[in-house]
Structure 1
Amino acid sequence: MRLNEIVFNDAKPVDGYGPGFFRIGGTVIEGPVITSPSGTRTWGGLDDVDALADLVAEADVIFIGMGAEIAHLPEALRDRIEAAGAGVESMSSPAAARTYNILLSEGRRVALALLPI
């Protein structure tokens, strides 16, 4: 079996999560969070549409973790992101974090917004 070291460049992978927090690139952040090649920061949740729309410039796909369970995105939010030119996928936060890490390790242009579990 061939093993390759993963290089994440500027973006940071999700290292872990628990009730109310996420650990991204070794830093623990309480509450909702956004991470992308430009950095990791707190997020105002689904009402903070501008923060998600800003990610379109640096990502082809934005993964949104909806907490412990999968839920649909508000239609207006989905429409705004897609109209700006990026794909958007909603899933549970653990699934979103795993998917983000995989695509990030492949060098893809992805961003992630997570609601706590």
Structure 2
Amino acid sequence: MKLTPSDFGGSVPVDGYGPGFFRVGGKVVQGAVLVTAAGAEPWGGLDDRAALTALAGRVDVLFIGMGADVAHAPADLVASLQAVGVAVEAMASPTAARTYNVTLSEGRRVACALLPL
């Protein structure tokens, strides 16, 4: 699915997604992806906590896309991110991508970690 463009002030939005991939800033990333205003990189999924805690001081909110369905992020992951000052919101990946884009367009310090559909 293609997402509606907006003004991102030079930041990198999620452009679209489909089965097993995300398109971020015009580039396709297969599998799970971590997206910040600076760009996208492959992400090792929920067990790749170092990549998420490294966001401390750079983002205020991390949207975690849990795949096709709404699910809770592991409580210990949420606690470790909150301990370093990163608020966490878990939702389905399509919703996380759209929410990331909206808050990014508002100039907020956000990131999203998306599990594939």
TM-score normalized by the length of structure 1:
0.91
Partner of 2:81: 81
Write out the 4+ residue segments of structure 1 that deviate beyond 6 Å after TM superposition. none
Question: Does 2:46 correspond to 1:51?
Answer: no
Task: Identify which range, 33-42 or 77-86, moves more after superposition.
Answer: 33-42
Deviations 1:27-60 (A, max 9, x none): 0000000011342100000000110111122100
For 2:8 and 2:14, locate their aligned partners in 1 and report how far apart those are by CA, in whole Å. Answer: 14
Counterpart code for 1:36: T
| 5+ long unaligned stretches in structure 2 | 1-5
1:26 correspondence with 2:41 = no
The alignment partner of 1:52 has SS state of: helix
Same amino acid, percent of matched pairs: 56
1:63 is displaced (CA, Å) by 0.3
Give the distance between the partners of 2:115 and 2:19, measured in 1 at CA. Answer: 11
Look up the match of 2:3. none
Which residues of 2 match residues 1-117 of structure 1 at below 5 A?
A: 6-9=7-10, 11-117=11-117
> Would the aligned equivalents of 2:64 and 2:91 in 1 still touch at CA under 8 Å?
yes
With the length of structure 2 as denominator, give the TM-score of the two structures: 0.91
Structure number, greater radius of gyration: 1
Root mean square deviation, CA, Å: 1.1
Structure 1, unmatched stretches of 5+, are none
Paired residues in the alignment total: 112
